[in-house]
Chain A
């Protein structure tokens, strides 16, 4: 089972890496529109990574959002 999980995680990572490579290979003027295109796609990038872990990453704002209610 561990092997299956490892393999799947590596596949997810490779998929993310190839999507991010599209941004990295674009010139600076086009990077944001490439990112927007990725976000429009109904996939891993939109659903889980960029929006939720980018936009809502409140720690970057130095304000709440990760108040750890389950921990205290």
Chain B
């Protein structure tokens, strides 16, 4: 079976959960309890029924209309750039877990605003996706103003959800500063045609957009003291994810002078000798480099996993193990690193 939508994915998540506990629950009484858990999981947002009214195109239209523009061609152009892109898809996948995480953090007030948080995250994702297209690939240049509008709207809506307080502003701008520091450094390295990251974990900071709701939720739950531990756990997870991304984007990245970790391990000499559009093949054919990338990815996840256990965070433990399974599968079965 192919999973074609985020709904299918959440169903699979539920099924995974059900399969695991089915064996342990034999009696009728226990089975009823199990059915209640399934219901509860659906209500958690895992089934996602509560949030199916959030649609990407409607969210884009809503923002554009708010700024007095009604333009279907513009909408279609934005959709063309973002709708089928893995970046948006992986973020939507992550958002399921974020909503479940908020629910498990017993923040019902915030959970009720789940649809707003989804829309806000979609708006932010679009802003940053188009920004990357413009800066990294010199595409979507005519949509430049849209990145500004969407980035502003993302920020405003995030404050509407989490509250307009000095504390929220302060945390938000601290995270933004870290993000822009990483972005500036990365783009500057691209200008200089140098390697973008000093350490593998640095690349994970680019996923700050996904982590901001976690920080603001911890703050709202009076758990600010845990932010730095969560941050360290999260960047291990996102940087492992980024390694897969860097492998997949290797052709485009080299063409655009974006020298990521795979490029660093492969070495400039090999890359400079290669013909355009062969970079990806050269990378995956190099078993030594691919093995190193695999080991680094698993090491990053091991570190994150330990931190998630220490934090006693069930959702993050779960998504880290999901990614670990995926990394094993992709490197061993698809890339054949043996």
| Chain A residues with a Cβ under 8 A of chain B | 1-2, 4-17, 20, 23-24, 28-29, 31-32, 35, 43-45, 47-57, 59-62, 64-72
Task: Give Cα A28–Cα B44 distance, bound, in whole angstroms.
Answer: 40
- Rounded to whole Å, the gap between the CB of B113 and the closest CB of chain A is 18
**B106 within 8 Å of A (CB atoms):** yes
Task: Give Cα A56–Cα B1 distance, bound, in whole angstroms.
Answer: 9
Contact B83 A12 (CB under 8 A): no
Q: Name 22 interchain pairs, CB-CB below 8 A, sorted by A.
A: A1-B37, A1-B40, A2-B104, A4-B37, A5-B40, A7-B314, A8-B17, A13-B317, A15-B20, A16-B324, A31-B338, A47-B16, A48-B12, A49-B325, A53-B329, A54-B328, A55-B329, A59-B89, A59-B90, A66-B89, A71-B5, A71-B6
**B26 within 8 Å of A (CB atoms):** no
Q: Which residue of B lies closest to A31 (CB)?
A: B332
Q: A28-B291, A72-B83 are in contact. Are A12 and B6 (CB under 8 A)?
A: no
Label chain A's interface by main secondary structure.
Answer: helix
Q: Which residue of B lies closest to A4 (CB)?
A: B37
Q: A9-B315, A64-B84 are in contact. Are A49 and B16 (CB under 8 A)?
A: yes
* Chain B contacts with A in 202-259, Cβ cutoff 8 A: 244, 248
- Rounded to whole Å, the gap between the CB of B98 and the closest CB of chain A is 14
Contacts of B324 in A (CB 8 A): 16-17, 20
- Rounded to whole Å, the gap between the CB of B66 and the closest CB of chain A is 19
Beyond A2-B104, A6-B314, A48-B16: 17 further Cβ-contacts under 8 Å?
Answer: A1-B36, A2-B103, A5-B104, A9-B315, A12-B16, A23-B328, A24-B298, A29-B338, A35-B332, A51-B329, A54-B330, A54-B334, A55-B329, A60-B86, A60-B248, A61-B248, A68-B83
**B50 within 8 Å of A (CB atoms):** no
- Rounded to whole Å, the gap between the CB of A28 and the closest CB of chain B is 6
**B326 within 8 Å of A (CB atoms):** yes
Q: A62-B248, A71-B5 are in contact. Are A13 and B328 (CB under 8 A)?
A: no
Contact B330 A8 (CB under 8 A): no
Contact B5 A69 (CB under 8 A): yes
Interface size on B, residues (CB 8 A): 59
Name the contact of A50 in the complex, choosing from B56, B106, B248, B328 (C-beta under 8 A): B328
Return the CB mask of B257-294 against A: 1 if under 8 Å, else 0.
00000000000000000000000000000000001000
Name the contact of A67 in the complex, choosing from B17, B84, B248, B321 (C-beta under 8 A): B84
**B318 within 8 Å of A (CB atoms):** yes
Task: Give Cα A32–Cα B338 distance, bound, in whole angstroms.
Answer: 7
Q: A32-B333, A48-B16, A53-B325 are in contact. Are A68 and B89 (CB under 8 A)?
A: yes
Name the contact of B2 in the complex, choosing from A13, A35, A56 (C-beta under 8 A): A56
Q: Which residue of A lies closest to B1 (CB)?
A: A52
Contact B79 A72 (CB under 8 A): yes
Contacts of A4 in B (CB 8 A): 37
Name the contact of A12 in the complex, choosing from B92, B248, B318, B326 (C-beta under 8 A): B318
Task: Give Cα A53–Cα B241 distance, bound, in whole angstroms.
Answer: 14
Contacts of A29 in B (CB 8 A): 338
